[in-house]
Amino acid sequence: MKNRLTGVIIGQIIGIIIVCMISTFIALVSFGGIAGVTIASSPEQIFKLTAPLSCPDGTVDFEEYTASYNRPGESNFYVNCVAADGTSADITLPSIGYALLGFYLACFLPLCVPGGLIAIIVPLFFLLGGKKQKPPSPSAIGTL
Q: Where are the domains of the chain?
A: 2-128
What pLDDT shows up at residue 26? 92
The pLDDT value recorded for residue 135 is: 63
Average pLDDT of span 14-40: 90
Task: Give whole-number Cα distances, 112 to 10, 73, 118, in Å.
Answer: 18, 42, 10
Mean pLDDT of 129-138: 61
State percent of the chain over pLDDT 70. Answer: 85
The 88-90 sheet, strands edge to edge: 58-67, 74-83, 88-90
DSSP single-letter state for residue 87: -
Q: What is the pTM of this model?
A: 0.72
Q: Where are the alpha helices (DSSP H) in the chain?
A: 2-41, 43-49, 51-54, 92-128
Span 82-127, pLDDT tens digits: 888 888 888 889 988 999 999 999 999 998 899 888 888 888 777 7
CB count within 10 Å of CB 24 equals 15
pLDDT the model gives residue 104: 93
pLDDT tens profile 30-84 = 988 899 898 888 888 888 888 889 888 888 888 888 777 766 767 788 888 888 8
Residue 28, pLDDT > 80, answer: yes
